[in-house]
Amino acid sequence: MSASRLRILLTRSISPAEMERILALAPGAEVHATSSGEEALSLAEEADIICGFVGAEIAARAKRLRWVHTFSTGVDNLPYKELFERGAILTCSRGAHAVVLAEHSLMLMLMLAKRMPKFTRDQAGRRWDRVQMGTLQGRTLGILGFGAVGRELARKARPFDMRVVAAKRSPAFAEGVDRLIPMQEREELFRESDYVVCTLPLTDETIHVVGERELRAMKPTGFFINISRGRVVDEQALIRALKEGWIAGAGLDVVEQEPLPAESELYALQNVVITPHVAGWAEEALAKAFEIFLENLRRLVAGENMVNVVDRVAGY
């Protein structure tokens, strides 16, 4: 592909050094970078390539669009079905957030094991109340979805001497786990695990894939952690599980409605740790996502196959 004819739009500001790297890969290309939604909307009409967020308005304007790269792993917040229908290629930043998401999962697991919700409240209330704590050592970690994030989490759980089981749609040999379970048999994973971490992408098939049946299968001493997408979980079933003691607690970086409404019962539950969808928000992850974009730009200009191309059927 002739780089000199390309019009590239990045929907975030970039440094002069980053601009130089883009132009080195696509000499003569017309490149615009802006963090202004209004400006991005006006520039979208002439864009062949958009790197960053593409909402419905931008997608409707971008009639020339041939390729979209998103800095996120999931593409559920993009009008990806419409983009596919128009023949655009969609690539994601799969793998860029694996380390930070795995770290965040472990943080939530440790906070729940070490009773941090209680100690945070005690500190705020100037109380000194000693209680027994739990441990990760010797416990079973269940990973629901075994992509890049799941594999990194399994690797990081090993130094804690945890047993690791995982469930995925197409089970095959997977290094780093003690047992691999087909997704349709996921209740077994919930039944075995002391900690279940959800890393699934949001697709038509995974909406509310975690519901009452799965949560009731868990041990009453078990903890559920979600760092993927809120709609993967039936939130009302989760609230019941937390209030009625089906499970011991939960760590949530994502919820069904974001921002989480002030009236949500989740805020008041003392066995829940909530973070505001920030698990993947780190400079290191953004830098890796930009590297994936640059590699795909190089491949596009060279006529090579891109990496991290989103499957039109699976939606991830």
Known catalytic residues?
Answer: 229, 258, 277
What long-range pairs does 163-172 form, CB within 8 A, spacing at least 24?
A: 163/138, 163/139, 164/140, 165/140, 165/141, 165/189, 165/192, 165/193, 166/142, 167/142, 167/143
Contact (CB, 8 A) for 67 and 88: yes
Q: Report yes or no: 195 and 109 within 8 Å, Cβ to Cβ.
A: yes
Cα angle: 86, vertex 169, 139; to 5 degrees: 135
- Taken as a whole, the chain contains a residue count of 316
Distance CA 259, CA 252 (A): 13
Distance of CA 151 to the CA centre of its chain: 13
In 3D space, the residue among 209, 200, 233, 199 whose CA is nearest the CA of residue 102 turns out to be 199
CA distances from 181 to 67, 191, 261, 316 (A): 35, 12, 35, 20
Tokens of 170: 């197409």
Answer whether the bond into residue 201 is a cis peptide, omega within 30°: no
H/E stretch holding 292:
helix 283-302
